[in-house]
């Protein structure tokens, strides 16, 4: 899969991470059906997560949790510095209300929670901001400005297909301590010259070419980031069995009585697990008996 490209200006006041994330986004929907709305918002969130995580330290990770009152309801994306990522959309069949065209209405009003793992801390640092537009990029930029006091430009793109994602990608540009007002004005002017991100990716632009207007107008050095992006949700049969145990003894008794295998689908990757009655019986034996079942 693709790698994230990272750049730091020679004066240390601007850093950029950029990526073409089409393959990663398609992996997220490899086994899951979803509406175009759900695909676009989830792909954008997944792209934002991997870009932000690339600026962390070794073996650290972060997550973005969008919770809104729109039809999509919840979008969650998590990524690590080493490039692993996963995403979840609560209502994958969501569509915009009739007459509404703004994709941000899919999330609606609500909150973005960012859990950012810090070195030597057992618990992640949690930051919360209101959802600004629901477009994902605006909301991440708002979080960086409000919670981290980092002015930024966050540009994300995703175009859905019936069976996946046609293109996905984006970049996060952040201003670091020492920047000047002139730098801000110049960046704002250059941003207007970057073109439509999705069209550029469609036309074959590389991750570096997505930010070429910035690279040509400031002096940058590339920062090596050798990790390939990969979708990894962490599901396995042991976790499936633990989730079944949470259903309780009465529900397990009903499942066993039915005599049918039970199917459990991972909400992150869509992989389907089948648990037979023998395994259900084994799991049931680890739980206390309920009255009437002695």
pLDDT, averaged per 10 consecutive residues of the chain (294 residues), comes to 95 97 93 92 98 94 96 96 94 94 96 87 88 97 94 97 95 96 95 92 96 96 96 84 87 88 81 87 82 50
Residue 92 resides in a domain:
yes
Q: Are residues 158 and 206 both part of a single domain?
A: yes
Q: Which residues, other chains included, contact 163 with Cβ-Cβ below 8 Å and sequence gap of 6+?
A: none
Q: How far apart are CA 243 and CA 275, in angstroms?
A: 12
pLDDT score for 108:
96
For residue 252, give the CATH number of its domain.
3.90.1280.10
- Mark whether 43 and 116 lie in a shared domain: yes
Q: How far is Cα 147 from Cα 124, in angstroms, rounded to an integer?
A: 14
Q: Are 20 and 168 in contact (CB under 8 A)?
A: yes
Show Cβ contacts of residue 192 under 8 Å, excluding neighbours closer than 6 positions. none
Q: Does one domain contain both 104 and 12?
A: yes
Torsion of CA 131, 26, 167, 73, to 10 degrees: -20
- For strands 230-231 and 262-265, give the pairing: unpaired
Is 223 found in the same domain as 249? no
Q: How far apart are the C-alpha atoms of 110 and 107, rounded to whole Å?
A: 8
Of 215, 231, 247, the residue at which a domain comes to its end is 231
d(CA 161, CA 156): 17
Residue 158 sits at the vertex; the CA angle it makes with 234 and 169, to the nearest 5 degrees, is: 75
Of 196, 215, 231, which closes a domain? 231
Interatomic CA distance for residues 283 and 277, integer angstroms: 10
**Residue 148 belongs to a domain:** yes
- d(CA 252, CA 258) in angstroms, rounded, equals 10
Whether residue 146 sits in one domain with residue 170 = yes
Does 257 lie in the same domain as 227?
Answer: no
> Count of CB atoms within 10 A of residue 261's CB?
13
Same domain, 168 and 64: yes
Among 231, 253, 269, give the residue marking a domain's end.
231
Which H/E stretch holds residue 184?
A: helix 181-191
Q: Are residues 226 and 257 in the same domain?
A: no
Residue 68 lies in a domain: yes
The pTM is what? 0.86
Domain identity same for 105 and 136: yes
Q: Is residue 119 part of a domain?
A: yes
The Cα–Cα gap between 250 and 104 comes to 42
Residues 209 and 76 in one domain: yes
Beta-sheet pairing, 74-80 with 61-68 = antiparallel
Which CB contacts under 8 angstroms, 24+ apart, belong to 193-197?
194/155, 196/157, 197/155, 197/156, 197/157, 197/169, 197/170
Say which CATH number the domain at 21 has.
3.55.30.10
140 with 165, same domain: the answer is yes
Number of domains in the chain: 2
Same-domain check for residues 207 and 272 = no
pLDDT in tens, 121-142: 778 889 999 999 999 999 999 9
pLDDT recorded at residue 273 = 87
| Structural domain span for residue 113 | 5-231
């Amino acid at each position: 899969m693709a790698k994230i490209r990272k750049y730091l200006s020679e004066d240390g006041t601007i850093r950029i991470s950029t990526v073409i994330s089409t393959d990663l986004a398609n992996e997220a929907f490899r086994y899951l059906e979803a509406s175009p709305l759900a695909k676009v918002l989830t792909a954008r969130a997944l792209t934002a997560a991997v870009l932000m995580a690339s600026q962390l330290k070794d073996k650290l990770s972060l997550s973005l949790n969008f919770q809104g009152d729109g039809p999509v309801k919840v979008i969650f994306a998590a990524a690590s510095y080493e490039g692993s990522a996963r995403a979840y959309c609560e209502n994958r069949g969501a569509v915009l209300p009739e007459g509404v065209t703004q994709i941000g209405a899919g999330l609606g009003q609500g909150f973005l929670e960012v859990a950012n793992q810090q070195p030597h801390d057992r618990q992640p640092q949690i930051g919360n901001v209101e959802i600004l537009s629901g477009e994902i990029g605006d909301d991440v930029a708002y979080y960086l400005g409000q919670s981290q006091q980092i002015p930024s430009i966050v540009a994300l793109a995703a175009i859905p297909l019936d069976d996946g994602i046609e293109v996905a990608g984006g970049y996060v540009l952040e201003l670091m301590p020492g920047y000047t007002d002139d730098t801000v004005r110049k960046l704002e002017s250059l941003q207007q010259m970057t073109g439509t991100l999705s069209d550029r990716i469609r036309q074959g632009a590389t991750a570096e070419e997505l930010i070429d207007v910035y690279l040509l107008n400031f002096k940058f050095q590339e920062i090596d980031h050798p990790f390939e992006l990969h979708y990894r949700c962490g599901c396995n049969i042991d976790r499936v069995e633990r989730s079944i145990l949470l259903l309780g003894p009465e529900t397990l008794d009903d499942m066993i009585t039915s005599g049918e295998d039970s199917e459990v689908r991972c909400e992150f990757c869509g992989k389907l697990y089948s648990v037979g009655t023998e395994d259900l019986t084994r799991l049931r034996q680890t739980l206390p008996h309920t009255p009437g079942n002695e």
